[in-house]
Structures are given as C-alpha cells and as structure tokens.
Chain A
Amino acid sequence: MAPPFPHLNVCSAYSMRYGTAFPGALVSRAVEHGMDILALTDRDGLYGAIKHVRACAEAGVAPVVGVNLALDVPSPAFDPVPGMPAPRPRSGRHGGGRPSTGPEAEDRVTVLARAKGWSRLCRLVTAAHHTGERGAPKVTRELLGTWAGGPGEHGFGAEDGLVVLLGPRSDVGRAVALRRDEHARTLLGLWRAAVPGVVIELVDQYGFRDAITAVRMLGLAESMGVPAVLTNAARYLDPVDHQVGDVLDAARQLVPLHPRHLERTTSHAYLKSTKEMWQVAAKVCGADQERVERLLLTTRRLAEACSMAPLDLLALHNTPPALHLPEIGRDPVPLLRHRAEDGLVTRGLDRSGPARERLRAEMEIIEKKRLSGYFIAVAGITDMIRGMGIRCAIRGSGAGSLVNYLIGIGEVNPLEHDLLMERFLSEGRIGLPDIDVDVESARRLDCYKAIFERYGEARVACVSMMETYRARSAIRDVAGAMGLPPHEIDAIAKAFPHIRARQITASLSDLPELRESRLGDAGLERVFRLAEKLDGLPRHIALHPCGVLIGNSGLHDRTPVERSLLEFPMSQFDKDDVEEAGLLKLDVLGVRMQSSLAYALSEIKRVDDIVVELDTQQPLPGDGTALEDHEVQYVPHDDQETYDMIGASRTIGCFQIESPGQRELVAKLEPRTMHDLIVDISLFRPGPVNSDMVTPYLEARHGWRQPYYPHERLREALKETHGVVVFHEQVLRIIEVMTGRDLSYAEKLRRTLDTPAGRERVRKTFVPLARANGFDDAAVERAWQVLDAFGAFGFCKAHAAAFALPTYQSAWLKRHHAAAFFAGVLTHEPGMYPPRVIIDEARQCGIQILPLDINKSGRDWRVERLGPRVLARDQARAQARDKTGDQPGDQPGDRAGDQPGDRTDDQSGVRVRVRTSALEGSPVRRDFKIDEIGKGYALRVPFSAIKGVSEAEVERMVAGQPYTSLADFWDRARPSRPTIERIVQVGGLDALHDLRPGGPRWRPGELTRRDLIAQVAVLDRASASGVRTGPRGSKRYSSPVAASPRAAAPPSVQLPLGFGERLVPGELPEMTETEMVEAELEILGIDVSRHIISFYDELLDAAGVVRARDLLAQRNGAEILVAGVKVATQTPAVRSGQRVIFTTLDDSTGPIDLTFFESVQGRCAATVFGSWLLLSRGVVRRTGTRAVSLRAVDCWDLRDLDSLWRSQGIEAVRAHLARAPEERAGVGGRKIEYPNGYRLSPYSDVGPAIADPPRPLWHASPGSSGPTAA
C-alpha cells in the first residue's frame, strides 16, 4: 500500500476572497482521505496557520505551513538575462502586455517552512508586507534568499529554512508555458543561486494546456536536477465550490464575472483524494510508472521534511506554556513584589490583614506562572497613558485582582466589592490573563503610538481580526460580480437588516418588512443563493479594536506582522491565535464615554473654573491637602441626588443604563449604592433577563418575598443579591462551599457549565464531592439546581464593578453638571442615541440649546452660562448640608446649585460619606425635578455639526473669530460655498445680521436668510472671476498662519467689508419655522429651534393623543394613542424566543417606550422600521413605580395621518385609526432553543433596515459603543 498523498499547496478561506474552505474542514477532509500530512499555504499571509496547526494537532495530522506570495514584477530592463536577449513573445503577454486581472496578472510562488522554519516564515511574510503596498505583499528572489536559510540535504535547504515551490504560476512556469525554454532554465538557475531549497511544482487541474506545461516543467526539473513535486493548488473542498470561487475572484478584483478574470477554467482545484492525485500523476508522467513513483516519492519526502511538531506553534499547550514574555531590563519578580508592597501603603491597605493575605495568594500564582514581567509592563503602560493626561480605567475580570489595584493598573479595589482573582487568573486554568483597560476613544491611537514609541515596533504589535461576509457585504460583492448596476446593489443590500449571509433567503419570507419589499420575486435568487455561500468567509483583515501584543525582541519570530490601514504594525493573528501562540496582550479599548467625561470635565473647568476630581476620593480632613486656589469638587460614591435621578429613570446619556430596557430596570430596582449599580448592570444581560432572575431579585430586594437560600451555609455567598445568583463569583463561592475545594477548582468547574454536556459532567463531580463534604442529598440537589439554572448565565462581578464606576460617574456629572455632561456626550457620542435625542433630553433638563453662531460656536459643543456663576463652594456646601442636615425626603425643589442665596448654615464644607446603610432596605423616594438640573446653562451648536463640513474649514472658522459680516466670514474663514450656505440656512449669521426668522415671510427692508444666501452667490462669483486677489484665490489651505485674522485680511479690491450696499434687504422671503426646522434636521440632524413634533400638536390634540409626561397618570391596561419621533428601535434577545421590536418615541415631553410583539409585526414592522414620525396605539403597562411602557397594538406614519387630516379633516383620521387591523403573517424562522427553555429568535439583535431621513436620527441596534475606526 502506497503512502497517502500529501497536499502541499492548499489555500483556505484565510486566503481572503480566494479560498472557500476553513482550515478545520480541510483537515477533516484530509483525514477522511486517510492523509497524514496536510499543508496550509494561504495567500499573502499566515492568517489561518495557527488554526490549521491546531486542527491538525487535534486530528493527528502532521501540519505543514507555508505561504503563497506574489513576485515583484521585474522591471523590463532587468528581466532579460545579460547576453541572452529573450525573443519578444508574439502574444506580448509577458512584461508590458501583462493583463491586470486573471491568473496572469501576477506571478506567484509558494513558500513552505521546513520543520523548524516557522520563525523564518514569519519574518519573510513580515518583510513581504513591509516591501509591498498595504495588503499587497511582494517578494523578490533576493528577499526570499535573505530568509530562506542555509544549504541542506536533498535540495530542500536547511531544517530551519524555507523551500520555494515554483509552480505554473511562477516566473519559471510562465516561461515554460510560453515555450521559452532557455529563459526558463536561466530563471531556474537564478532561483537556485538565490535560494538553497528550490523545488519545481507540477499542477494539472485539467485546464487547457495544464498537462503540457506540467510535462515540460517535469522535463526541465529532471534536466537540471531539481526536485519536482506534485500538488493540486487546492482552493476548494468540493468541485461545486468553484462557483463561489469564481464570485470571489470577481469580488477580489472588482470586476464582473468573465472567464478572462477568473483564476481557473475547471472545477478541479479541490482537495483530491490520494487515488485522484495518482491519476493526475499518471497523466503528467505519461505511462511511465517509474516517473510517477519518483514524483510521488519526492512529494512525500518534501512533505515529511516540512512537517512540524504542532507544539512548536501552539506554545500555550506546552507544559509549562512557552510564553513569550516582555523584557523589562531586570528580574521582574522582586520588582513586582516591591511595587505591590508600595501599593499597599499608598492605597492605605498596609495594615489590612486580608489585603496582605490576598496579595500573598495572588503573587504566588503570578510568580508560579512567571507573569511578573507582564504585570510590570502593563503597569508601565497604564502609568504612561495617565501621564499623558488620558483617562484610563480597568475593565473586565482584571478588576478582580488586588495586584492590579495595588500597582495602579486599575482603580477598583477588589476587596471592597468582594471580587475574586480566580475569575481573572487561576492556577488550574490554561490560558493567559487578559488585562483590559478603557481609554478615551478620541485618544486611543495616541496611546498606541506611545506604546510603540516606548517599546519599539520589534516588541509590540496590534492584534488583528477578520471581517467576515455578512448579508449586506455578501450581496454587494455577489451582485457586483453579476454586473448589477451600483445603485441597485446599494438598494438591495440596504433592504436587509444586519443578519448573517446564510439567513438571506429565509429572511425574505420570515421578516414582514422584507416580504413587503418583494425582493424575493425580483429575479435575484441566484444572487441570494451565492451570497449565502459566502457566509462567514473572511473578507478582509482589520485592526482589532483593542488588542496590543506585548513581547520581546523575538516577537517577529512568532507572529507575522503587517500594516493596518492606519500604518500600525498588526499581527496577522486574531485574539484566539495570539493566545494559542503564547503571546501576551493588553486590551486598550477606546471608550467614547471616557472621552465624553474628559470633555465634560474640561468644560466645567473652562466655564465654571471648577476642577472635578472624578477618580480620586476626597482626602480625609486630616490629610492636609486643603482646597487650593481653584475650586475642587470630589465625587462621593453615595450621592443620593444622583441615585434619585437614576431611580426616576432619567438616564439618557449615561453609560450602560440609558437603553429603554435599562431605564425600565433602574426604575424598578432603584439603585441606592454602587453595589446596586453593579447588580443592575449584571442583571441586564440576555442570560439573566431570559432566565427570569430579575423578578425574584426585585421582589426580594423590595421585601415582597423572603430570600431563598438552598442551604444555610450558602447564605454568606448569596446574601448580597438576596439569594439570587447574579455573579460568576457567587457560582464559585457555591462550588467552594459545597465541595470544599478551592476557588481555582471552582473556576474550572464553572467554565464547564456553559454547555449541557458540560453541566452533566460537572454534576457528576459536584454531587459526590458535596455529599462527601457532609451535605445531605436534598441540600445538594437544591444547590445543584441553582448551579444548573444560573451557572452559565452569571456575569463576572469584577466586570460589572469596573463598568459601574463610569456609569456612576456619568450619572453624577449629568446630575450636577448637566450642561457640561451633555456637551461631552454630544461631542463624543458614546451612547446609543443620536444627537437629537440627547439634545431633547438636555432641553428637558432645563438647558437651552443655542443656534449656530459664527462668532460664538466652537469646534465642538460648548457650554455657555446664561447668568452669573454659581459659586462652587456654595454648591459644595449646599450638598454637604443636604447630606448632613436634612433628612432624606426633604423638600422638593430645594436642590443645590440653583439658589445660591440661602446658604447660611453649615460652614464645614466636608461631606459625610455614610448614609447608605441607613437607606438600604427602605429606599426613600424623593421628588426629583428633571427640568432644574441644568438650569442657567446653555449648549451652543458647534461648527462640526454642519453636514459636510471639513476639519480644515472648522479650524479656519474658529481661528478667524470674531467676524464682522458675511463677507468678512467668507473672506477669512474661507468656507466652501455649500458649507456657508448651510451655515446661513441654520441661522449661523442671524445674530450678526440681526435676522429674526419666523413670522411673516415678506418683510421689505429687512434682511433675510435668503438674501444672505443670494449674497453668497455674489461673493462666490466675485472671487471666481478674479476681481479680488487674496487668499480666496488659492483654494488650497497652506498653513495655519495664513488663516489667522490679521495675516488673512485680504487686499480687497472691490468688495469692502461693508457689503450691505450691494444687498437689497428683504428682496427674498424669510424662511418659515417649518423651513427652519427642516433645514436644521437636514443640515445638523437636530431640531434646534423647535421640536419637530410641535408642528403636529394640533393634530395630536384633535386625535386625543396622550403625551409622555401624562403617561404616569394613565390606568394600567388602558388603550391609548401616543405619538412621537422615533429615537430607537432594538430587537434584542428575549425569553419567549419571539422577535420583539422595542421602539422609543420622543414627543418633546419625554420618552415613550413601545413594545411590538410578533402578533402585530405583520402589519406594523414596515411602518416601525420605515417611518420616522410615528403614531401608535398601545396598551399601558406599568413597569415600576414611576415607569410605564406600552404594548403596541397598531401604528401609523404620522406624516400620512397629517396629510389625511389636512385634506379630509379629523373625522377621516379617526376613521383611519379605527380601522380593523388586517391580519398578516408575523415573523417566521425557527427559534433557537436552549436547554433551559430559553428560546431565541434567529432575528434578535439585528439592526433593521432603515429608510429616510438621510442622517441617522435614531438608534438602531446593534452597537451601543459606537464604531471604532482603524
């Protein structure tokens, strides 16, 4: 029996837009064929290498790893060999006549790593990417020679070297195919001179002339004594995949499908069996059996010479793991010990016994795992980030480690919240600890730059991630390949929600809004069918939003590195590969809320000259650091006014708790302490919500039912959440108590609870252990039931604790510095809501919204104070008095900050930080007036909000302030004509020219906005015709100096600044209020001057629509009409397995939350997703003491009703609203069912497709954290 054939040229799906099969599938197929060696040689990179090796290791196949790289096109002068003028090929295909697409567009070679050649392969790929353009790596013979290693035996080079396979696509193969035999010999000679390991690769995919070329190449190899091997250059799993391959060829090259662009002519490039490959060999070698055997034997020998030991790459699975640790110059172990000791003192924990004991335990594990250097390196980075003045907070399980707190990586004290380290780093866990830090999103790249500068590119690299095909991208690429017109492609793709590509066909019949669109009948079946086949295939590589590898100078021996779009060095490995390869990483995540907080703080300082210390707690009076020259405010974690606001569910804009669901939950939960917030954040997860952990918790919290403890000894672990398992930490404690084993062991069991099979395994170990530990059968059973039900769904408390801090901080800022807070939120858009919703919330908080003004607006949203400053000292005193003096439940309206007059009592200015215990258990509700928290302040619309404005324009406009007239603005700020017209339209010059739009349209003698726009045209013509010289003449923006007012003052020839003489005021009509709001929405995306819904007031009143502010007065179960602007739609996962649409409307008096269940979606879905202004009928559902939500019954487009009302009167509207709802089919699709009865709609959590208006004026899930550009 001959040995199985080894495939040495195989491309997986990680050859982006080329391969069609994933490494795991290829390995399984190889196993089915009885093969024992399999290579992966993806194009341009090692993106799939780790996955391949891992799959091979699991299947017992020896992995070979290589890469397929393009050869740099030799310059014509260099191409012909000296003294050997190559005959000009008749076809002219070589050299200058090379086609730009198709298989002949570029020459490619395959490079295999020998058994120990991984490092060289990585370095080669890195070098190839460094040489070529981004995303188009190139190699030359010389470059390959540099990394190929020394000479070895058998013509395969050295054992730690590389082998180059020259196939039909190589320069040698092309020469052979063109019958330029001498040229081919010369090229092969050059290859042999440059690289020790050179092999001729024969491929016959049954294409026209494939066989002849292969035969000739075999002859060439034999005549020159070069080894020849056989491959199939595989890129498919099965022959039928060739259609997908064709589409990918077209998509990759951005051309329509045409044979001329395709890589193949046949469907034979699949992973053939040994027998099929024997047939190929026989075909190539003719009937010569000896040649066949020699060819296959050489192939086999090369495969064996290149087979790697999987553990060489899967460093993590060695014992001990072969980690790639950062260098820090000296022995990290004592260094970390000293820093932690110092930390005990600075954190005031040096006398705490538990802290010392915890530190000892953590250090033991860290040192055992040899991770000291990692912690030192991370601490160095966080210190550096903070040193740059960038906000930086720890997130995730890392918050559970005391060491992280002590050495200053994080600000969360794990002892205070009873967080466990085992969740982060435990003895029995294979895997690496992951420290995650959040930084200001706007400055994330600054952080990266600083890290690269400090450690050098040789030691750090960003982590990458694969962007894969989803419905929209797949439809775009397939339709493009099919040659559909671009605008049609756009329309089709946008009709789909953000679903997976494989759901396309099903969604056409399942989703009401797509059924309505009739896309299913548009003759696009083939497009959809092919698009489905692209499902999940990698499309391109992108910078991971946060991962940074931290290693030593040998990093590039372990991972190939390429450049990201922003030129950051980026590993070709994703985050899983990185861990497998034993590389340590730090996650530096840009969080918009941190930027918002930073901006808010800077605005508070600018406007009120108050320094708010968000992170540091107020030093105790004895510490001697008294208030200095500027006012300092500290942020106590128990500020009841903040919790009042949260409990009243006025949390729009706040971190983590602003979604409709969270607003409902906080209203029910009424958090009073940081711990309550931690619980709240943990509860608001699909798992807990779906397993209905929320209700028992709330009932026990409010004392409506007794907490349930499975066993008295579990009381300690479950007390904090009234007997409900909310946190992973509690699962660990339960296991610890019941089994008597340690927390590391418990963590190991907990990780197994995720799957039903895992739960069964855990049960088999848990039950006997607990019994042996002295618990009776009933108790064990009860405890097990709790674990079974909640074990997989808990949330890491450390994670929630890390989240709770910015949540509270944002809420505190909203409560006490509302205007600055909203300025930050509007500038950095951290949340799910679009600006107009935030603006509306700000308005309801009593903040005025001021229009754009070319003399007052800034680059970003600015706070303006309307009256004299309220002294911060008074404010602080007032707060102090609130806390110390008054009882909870004091007079409504007597809030701090608004009435500076009556501060007489209590001169201490020191806050007392207790009180939480007094409040716990019996939350005392205080009246809270939302419209007073921002009084006295205003927000100014910034230049950056103008649609289409460029960075440079904004800079010039700000730098040139103040302006004296339109002409002055035009001259010195030099905005583009569309920009200046937009500025006029939204009133940017109203103040300057004293315009008062609204009221009568015709007002002779008075200047109007339209007059100004006409004047812009005059100015534009004047500057275009060259009447005037000066900066306007040159369109280019040269330097900031030129933009400064003085330098730019133009030598005006004809148009002096007083341009009024050319203007006939009142010649054109003024804009109406409707036109103003329309312009504002179109240009700014915000209705500044009036709320859009106010135009419909009359209709709403006539139809008897209930306003948001009156909702609380409605009877439970009443059926009412509501209306508003759609601000958000979400389709989250819910317990019943339905697709439920949650919609929030805003009617200028507050938010209205509507729920559309599947039963009504048949008639409502298209309207809900497709309209912007909605009127809906719903049934009132009281969700909390001060929260109401509506179950929607029907809905209409408000604008349709409005036109009906205008044309036919209110009776017609009433009749229309009274229509009997016609029944249409609801949402289809098989539910995804979970073992505990939790079912999930396949369309949950996907954003719906949307229609007008053009700018995003409302939120659509998913994605609340906002995109991270890279």
Chain B
Amino acid sequence: MSRLYGDPIEVWTRDGQPTQFVWRDRLYLVRSVLDHWVVAREWWKTGDKDPGERQFWRVEAGPGREVGSYELRYDTAGNGWLLLRAWD
C-alpha cells in the first residue's frame, strides 16, 4: 500500500535526475529510477506566466539498507520538490 504525503523535501540531482533527498530529517539515497514522466500544467487557466510543468520520478531509495519506492515531484515553475507518495 502506498501512502500519500505531499511533504516539501530537499533533493540533490545529477543531470536532472534525483540522486538523494532528505525527508523527515533522514537522507535517502536513490538506488534506481523506476519511472519518470512529465505532466504539463493547464497553462490557459493561470495568469500570464508560463506555469511550467511537473516532473514525476518514481524511484527506489532508502536511508541505509532498507529500500522502498517513493514518488517525487518537481515543479519547474516553482522550483520546488515534494515527496508525494511512499511504498514502504
């Protein structure tokens, strides 16, 4: 079962790909990227500025040895990361 969170997190990336992130004061290392997709925003509903797009990353990561699946979201316009869900 996955749980929904939506917590703002800090993420380190290499070539645009997340490599590690800090969630609830723990450092998670990204072991592999399971899936990655992008969703464009409904730009015609927002104001003048380009609302950008949202990048989703489903990764295997974990603090230390145990590994879980996590879904991260990056908002290009707001330049912020969220941890959306976790399967752990």
Residues of A within 8 A of B (CB): 206-212, 240, 242-243, 246, 257, 259, 264-268, 283, 481-482, 525-526
Spot the interface stretch: B20-28, B38-46, B60-68, B79-87: B38-46
In chain B, what residue has the closest Cβ to A283?
B36
Q: Is the CB of B44 within 8 A of A206?
A: no
In the bound assembly, the distance between CA atoms of A242 and B50 in angstroms comes to 11
In the bound assembly, the distance between CA atoms of A207 and B39 in angstroms comes to 7
Q: Given A266-B53, A267-B53, do A206 and B38 touch, yes or no (CB 8 Å)? A: yes
In the bound assembly, the distance between CA atoms of A1022 and B50 in angstroms comes to 65
User: Which residues on B sit within 8 Å (CB–CB) of A268?
Assistant: 38
In the bound assembly, the distance between CA atoms of A267 and B48 in angstroms comes to 18
- Residues 45-75 of B contacting A (Cβ, < 8 Å): 48, 50, 53, 56
In chain A, what residue has the closest Cβ to B37?
A208
Q: Is the CB of B37 within 8 A of A206?
A: yes
User: Which residues on A sit within 8 Å (CB–CB) of B37?
Assistant: 206-211, 266
Cβ of B72 to closest chain A Cβ, rounded Å: 15
In chain A, what residue has the closest Cβ to B32?
A287
Q: Given A265-B40, A266-B40, A266-B53, do A212 and B35 touch, yes or no (CB 8 Å)? A: yes
In the bound assembly, the distance between CA atoms of A1200 and B56 in angstroms comes to 64
Q: Is the CB of A211 within 8 A of B36?
A: yes
Q: Is the CB of B38 within 8 A of A246?
A: no
User: Which residues on A sit within 8 Å (CB–CB) of B50?
Assistant: 240, 243
B-side interface size class: 10 to 19
In chain B, what residue has the closest Cβ to A259?
B42
Partner of A482, one of B36, B44, B48: B44
Cβ of B57 to closest chain A Cβ, rounded Å: 11
Residues of B within 8 A of A (CB): 35-40, 42-44, 48, 50, 53, 56
Q: Given A266-B53, A267-B53, A526-B48, do A243 and B43 touch, yes or no (CB 8 Å)? A: yes
In the bound assembly, the distance between CA atoms of A240 and B43 in angstroms comes to 11
User: Which residues on B sit within 8 Å (CB–CB) of A257?
Assistant: 42, 44
Q: Is the CB of A266 within 8 A of B39?
A: yes
Q: Can you pick out 7 interface pairs between chain A and chain B where the beta carbons lie within 8 Å of each other? A: A207-B39, A208-B37, A208-B56, A243-B50, A265-B40, A283-B36, A481-B44
In the bound assembly, the distance between CA atoms of A208 and B57 in angstroms comes to 11
Q: Is the CB of B35 within 8 A of A265?
A: no
User: Which residues on B sit within 8 Å (CB–CB) of A240?
Assistant: 50
Q: Given A211-B35, A266-B53, do A242 and B48 touch, yes or no (CB 8 Å)? A: no
User: Which residues on A sit within 8 Å (CB–CB) of B48?
Assistant: 525-526
Top 9 A-B pairs, shortest CB-CB distance: A206-B38, A266-B38, A208-B37, A257-B44, A206-B37, A266-B40, A265-B39, A267-B40, A207-B37
In chain B, what residue has the closest Cβ to A279?
B15
User: Which residues on A sit within 8 Å (CB–CB) of B53?
Assistant: 266-267
User: Which residues on B sit within 8 Å (CB–CB) of A482?
Assistant: 44
In chain A, what residue has the closest Cβ to B16?
A279
Q: Is the CB of A265 within 8 A of B44?
A: no
Cβ of A1095 to closest chain B Cβ, rounded Å: 51
Q: Is the CB of A208 within 8 A of B44?
A: no
Cβ of B6 to closest chain A Cβ, rounded Å: 18
Cβ of B59 to closest chain A Cβ, rounded Å: 14
In the bound assembly, the distance between CA atoms of A259 and B48 in angstroms comes to 19
Q: Is the CB of A526 within 8 A of B40?
A: no
Q: Is the CB of A207 within 8 A of B38?
A: yes
Interface-centre pick from B37, B39, B53 (highest chain A CB count, 10 A): B37
Q: Is the CB of B44 within 8 A of A264?
A: no
Cβ of B80 to closest chain A Cβ, rounded Å: 19
User: Which residues on A sit within 8 Å (CB–CB) of B35?
Assistant: 211-212
In the bound assembly, the distance between CA atoms of A243 and B40 in angstroms comes to 10
Cβ of B48 to closest chain A Cβ, rounded Å: 7
Q: Other than the known A208-B39, A265-B40, what 19 A-B pairs have Cβ atoms closer than 8 Å?
A: A207-B37, A207-B39, A208-B37, A208-B56, A211-B35, A212-B35, A240-B50, A242-B40, A246-B43, A257-B44, A259-B42, A264-B40, A265-B38, A266-B39, A266-B40, A283-B36, A481-B44, A482-B44, A526-B48
User: Which residues on A sit within 8 Å (CB–CB) of B39?
Assistant: 207-208, 265-266
In chain A, what residue has the closest Cβ to B42?
A259
In the bound assembly, the distance between CA atoms of A482 and B43 in angstroms comes to 11
Q: Is the CB of B42 within 8 A of A526?
A: no
Q: Given A267-B53, A525-B48, do A206 and B36 touch, yes or no (CB 8 Å)? A: yes
Cβ of A1191 to closest chain B Cβ, rounded Å: 44
User: Which residues on B sit within 8 Å (CB–CB) of A212?
Assistant: 35
Cβ of B79 to closest chain A Cβ, rounded Å: 17
User: Which residues on B sit within 8 Å (CB–CB) of A525?
Assistant: 48
Cβ of A489 to closest chain B Cβ, rounded Å: 15
In chain A, what residue has the closest Cβ to B55?
A206
Cβ of B85 to closest chain A Cβ, rounded Å: 14
In the bound assembly, the distance between CA atoms of A264 and B53 in angstroms comes to 13
In the bound assembly, the distance between CA atoms of A209 and B39 in angstroms comes to 11
Cβ of A261 to closest chain B Cβ, rounded Å: 12
User: Which residues on B sit within 8 Å (CB–CB) of A209?
Assistant: 37
Cβ of B70 to closest chain A Cβ, rounded Å: 17
Q: Given A266-B53, A267-B53, do A526 and B44 touch, yes or no (CB 8 Å)? A: yes
Q: Is the CB of B44 within 8 A of A246?
A: yes
In chain B, what residue has the closest Cβ to A206?
B38
Cβ of A240 to closest chain B Cβ, rounded Å: 8
In chain B, what residue has the closest Cβ to A210?
B37
In chain B, what residue has the closest Cβ to A287?
B32
Interface-centre pick from A240, A266, A283 (highest chain B CB count, 10 A): A266
In chain B, what residue has the closest Cβ to A258?
B42
User: Which residues on B sit within 8 Å (CB–CB) of A246?
Assistant: 43-44
In the bound assembly, the distance between CA atoms of A265 and B56 in angstroms comes to 13
Cβ of B50 to closest chain A Cβ, rounded Å: 8
Interface-centre pick from A206, A212, A265, A525 (highest chain B CB count, 10 A): A206
In the bound assembly, the distance between CA atoms of A246 and B37 in angstroms comes to 19
In the bound assembly, the distance between CA atoms of A283 and B17 in angstroms comes to 12
Cβ of A308 to closest chain B Cβ, rounded Å: 35
In chain B, what residue has the closest Cβ to A204?
B37
User: Which residues on B sit within 8 Å (CB–CB) of A264?
Assistant: 40
In the bound assembly, the distance between CA atoms of A264 and B40 in angstroms comes to 9
In the bound assembly, the distance between CA atoms of A242 and B44 in angstroms comes to 12
In the bound assembly, the distance between CA atoms of A1044 and B56 in angstroms comes to 76
User: Which residues on A sit within 8 Å (CB–CB) of B44?
Assistant: 243, 246, 257, 481-482, 526
In the bound assembly, the distance between CA atoms of A291 and B38 in angstroms comes to 24
User: Which residues on A sit within 8 Å (CB–CB) of B56?
Assistant: 208
In the bound assembly, the distance between CA atoms of A210 and B39 in angstroms comes to 12
User: Which residues on B sit within 8 Å (CB–CB) of A211?
Assistant: 35-37
In chain B, what residue has the closest Cβ to A525?
B48
In the bound assembly, the distance between CA atoms of A211 and B36 in angstroms comes to 8
User: Which residues on B sit within 8 Å (CB–CB) of A265?
Assistant: 38-40
User: Which residues on B sit within 8 Å (CB–CB) of A207?
Assistant: 37-39
Cβ of A521 to closest chain B Cβ, rounded Å: 15
Cβ of A102 to closest chain B Cβ, rounded Å: 14
Cβ of B62 to closest chain A Cβ, rounded Å: 20
Cβ of A290 to closest chain B Cβ, rounded Å: 19
In chain A, what residue has the closest Cβ to B35?
A211
In the bound assembly, the distance between CA atoms of A207 and B38 in angstroms comes to 5
User: Which residues on B sit within 8 Å (CB–CB) of A243?
Assistant: 43-44, 50
In chain B, what residue has the closest Cβ to A478?
B44
Cβ of A1097 to closest chain B Cβ, rounded Å: 55
In the bound assembly, the distance between CA atoms of A209 and B36 in angstroms comes to 9
In the bound assembly, the distance between CA atoms of A693 and B50 in angstroms comes to 53
Interface-centre pick from A240, A259, A264 (highest chain B CB count, 10 A): A259
In the bound assembly, the distance between CA atoms of A208 and B39 in angstroms comes to 7
In chain B, what residue has the closest Cβ to A482?
B44
Cβ of A35 to closest chain B Cβ, rounded Å: 22
In chain A, what residue has the closest Cβ to B44?
A257
Cβ of A243 to closest chain B Cβ, rounded Å: 6
User: Which residues on B sit within 8 Å (CB–CB) of A210?
Assistant: 37
In the bound assembly, the distance between CA atoms of A210 and B35 in angstroms comes to 10
In the bound assembly, the distance between CA atoms of A530 and B78 in angstroms comes to 23
User: Which residues on A sit within 8 Å (CB–CB) of B36?
Assistant: 206, 211, 283
User: Which residues on A sit within 8 Å (CB–CB) of B43?
Assistant: 243, 246
In chain A, what residue has the closest Cβ to B46?
A526
In the bound assembly, the distance between CA atoms of A259 and B44 in angstroms comes to 11
